[in-house]
Amino acid sequence: MLKIDMKKFNTGFTLIELLVVIAILGILVMIGLNNFVSSQRRSRDMRRKSDLRSISVALETYYADNNAYPTNTADGKINGCSGACTWGNQWKVSITIYMQKLSSDPISGHNYYYQADTTASHKWYQLYAYLENPQDPDISSTVVSKGLDCGGSTICNYGIASQNTTP
């Protein structure tokens, strides 16, 4: 009788084993990719918050120099750079440079939004941005309800204000 050596035929992986390994690798890649995208969003949101704090410091410096905050344009830009200041460019009034580069949103097409009330007896300003991470605890439903356009058809959902802002 012919005796077949089974060890010769049993040295590789079966198709099922290969498919299981590929599926497990795919799941691990998806988890890693999701964590990577989420961390990028959180990083951009931290930058937005930092940018608004920096702009706030410059606005307070402007107020100290002029006893008023600069006015805003209809589309939420700061007036005072020989017209509207463009996000990402220098903020200079006369010979005073308030910001070498007026911070801009890290995503192209998105903008910060500035509002000021220079007519009230107590002058105030508010700065707004759009945060990408929906779980961010600083997202405000009050800001969302204002419906301010932060660019790219997104509604601003985060804001900071001067000390004397009225609700």
- pLDDT by position in tens, the chain (length 167): 556 665 655 667 888 888 998 999 999 888 888 888 888 889 999 999 999 999 999 999 999 988 888 888 888 888 877 767 888 888 888 888 899 888 888 888 889 999 988 676 558 899 999 999 888 899 988 888 888 888 878 899 999 988 866 54
CB-based contact 121:50 (threshold 8 Å): no
CB 146 within 8 A of CB 104: no
Amino acid identity of 25?
Answer: L
Per-residue confidence (pLDDT) for residue 51, from 0 to 100: 93
pLDDT for the residue numbered 1? 56
Q: How far apart are CA 10 and CA 31, in angstroms?
A: 34
What is d(CA 20, CA 8) in angstroms, rounded to the nearest whole number? Answer: 23
- Residue 1 CA to residue 4 CA, distance in Å, equals 10
Spans of all domains in the chain: 47-161
User: What 3-state DSSP class applies to 124?
Assistant: strand
pLDDT at 165: 61
Q: Could you give the CA distance from residue 44 to residue 40 in angstroms, rounded to a whole number?
A: 6
Strand order in the sheet with 124-129: 113-117, 124-129, 158-161
Residues 6+ positions from 73 with CB-CB distance below 8 Å: 79, 84
Query: What is the tally of helices (H) and strands (E) in the chain?
Result: 2, 5
* Per-residue pLDDT at 167: 47
